[in-house]
């Protein structure tokens, strides 16, 4: 005779701290869906320290995706941190104010990791608050426009990836790098930028890995940058073919 199958809900019996940790590995739409499981799960998702917004779960429903993002951000427990914020969207996300509000909320909650990957067709600009976030450890940016920078202060940043980021002025790259004195892992990939470093006043004493993908570079200035990286172990430099573009 087959043994009886236990119907005891052992997962729901776990402490809140463990359940919240498990939920932090899921995309926010899936996390929110757990609220219907039982009264035990109803409010747990408001305390998950990860906000992961991916519009792949909202095909052809941009307005619904934006409304859901607001619901996730604004319904959270205000006493709980947002340690990880990720936004991946193929929609145009033309409302800059939407993205800035979501990000500023995460910054106010001591965010440590931000990943932004809007559509290549969007015109989303880099929100100013990101560049002065003292708690930020990992920053990964793709397909954004940087049209103005006044101050960069990222003392805790260790990892910086920029892919397809468009800079209105070349010196903005220098300003960002100078504002990250504790960087350890740096990757820049872009076909939109002539990378021309100015001599930096900062020594990157922790930088171990650096990767660039560019189509034009003043090599002696790159050497000056390398002289500022005494612990550098890995350098990857790829020279791309210049692509004609109207942008």
Burial of 16 per CB tally in 10 Å (0-12, 13-18, 19+): exposed
Does 94 share its domain with 58?
yes
Rounded to an integer, what distance in angstroms lies between the CA atom of residue 104 and that of residue 170?
26
Is 175 a residue whose pLDDT tops 50?
Answer: yes
pLDDT of residue 9: 61
pLDDT of residue 193: 46
What's the predicted TM-score (pTM) here?
0.76
Dihedral-angle region of residue 237 (phi above 0 means left; psi in -120 to 50 means alpha; beta otherwise)? beta
Band (41; pLDDT cuts 50, 70, 90): low
Strands, DSSP E only, in 44-137?
50-54, 84-88, 113-117
Averaged pLDDT, 98-111 = 88
pLDDT of residue 171: 80
Q: Which residue has the tokens 């919240």?
A: 20
Rounded to an integer, what distance in angstroms lies between the CA atom of residue 57 and that of residue 223?
45
Does 148 share its domain with 203?
yes
pLDDT of residue 131: 93
Band (241; pLDDT cuts 50, 70, 90): low
The total number of structural domains in the chain stands at: 2
More reliable by pLDDT, 136 or 40: 136
Helix H segments across the chain?
16-23, 28-33, 62-74, 96-108, 171-178, 219-227
Q: Give percent of the chain above pLDDT 90.
A: 17
Q: Which residue has the tokens 């932090």?
A: 24
Does 193 share its domain with 117?
no
DSSP states of 158-226:
-EEEEES-EESSTHHHHHHHHT-TT--EEEEE-SS--B-PPPPS---TT--EEEEEES-B-HHHHHHHH
Rounded to an integer, what distance in angstroms lies between the CA atom of residue 120 and that of residue 127?
17
Band (245; pLDDT cuts 50, 70, 90): very low
More reliable by pLDDT, 115 or 170: 115
Band (88; pLDDT cuts 50, 70, 90): confident
Other CB atoms closer than 10 Å to residue 4's CB: what's the count? 6
More reliable by pLDDT, 57 or 38: 57
In a domain, 230, yes or no: yes
Lowest-confidence region among 17-21, 41-45, 236-240: 41-45
Q: Could you say which of 94, 124, 154 is where a domain stops?
A: 124
**Residue 81 domain boundaries:** 14-124
More reliable by pLDDT, 99 or 9: 99
Rounded to an integer, what distance in angstroms lies between the CA atom of residue 43 and that of residue 76?
9
Band (135; pLDDT cuts 50, 70, 90): very high
Contacts for 158 with CB less than 8 Å, ≥ 6 apart? 137, 138, 182, 183, 184, 185, 206
Q: Could you say which of 72, 102, 124 is where a domain stops?
A: 124
Is 128 a residue whose pLDDT tops 90?
Answer: no
Rounded to an integer, what distance in angstroms lies between the CA atom of residue 135 and that of residue 107?
8
Does 19 share its domain with 113?
yes
pLDDT tens digit string along 182-238?
Answer: 999 998 876 444 455 555 566 788 889 988 776 666 666 677 778 888 888 998 877
Does 216 share its domain with 182?
yes
In a domain, 98, yes or no: yes
């Amino acid at each position: 005779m087959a043994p009886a199958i236990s119907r005891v809900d052992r997962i729901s019996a776990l402490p809140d701290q463990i359940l919240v940790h498990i939920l932090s590995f899921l995309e926010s739409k899936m996390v929110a869906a757990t609220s219907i499981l039982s009264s035990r799960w109803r409010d747990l998702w408001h305390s998950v320290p990860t906000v992961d917004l991916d519009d792949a779960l909202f095909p052809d429903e941009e307005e619904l995706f934006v409304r859901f993002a607001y619901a996730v951000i604004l319904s959270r427990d205000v006493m709980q941190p947002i340690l990880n914020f990720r936004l991946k969207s193929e929609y145009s996300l033309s409302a800059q104010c939407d993205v800035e509000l979501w990000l500023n909320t995460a910054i106010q909650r001591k965010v440590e990791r931000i990943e932004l990957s809007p559509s290549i067709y969007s015109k989303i600009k880099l929100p100013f608050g990101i560049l002065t976030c003292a708690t930020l450890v990992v920053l990964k940016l793709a397909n954004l426009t940087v049209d103005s920078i006044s101050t960069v202060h990222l003392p805790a940043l260790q990892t910086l990836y920029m892919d397809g980021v468009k800079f209105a002025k070349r010196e903005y790259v220098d300003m960002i790098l100078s504002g990250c004195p504790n960087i350890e892992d740096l990757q820049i990939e872009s076909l939109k930028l002539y990378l021309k470093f100015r001599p930096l006043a900062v020594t990157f004493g922790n930088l171990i890995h650096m990767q660039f993908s560019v189509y034009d570079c003043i090599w002696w200035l790159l050497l000056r940058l390398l002289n500022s990286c005494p612990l550098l172990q890995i350098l990857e430099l790829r020279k791309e073919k210049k692509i004609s573009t109207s942008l």
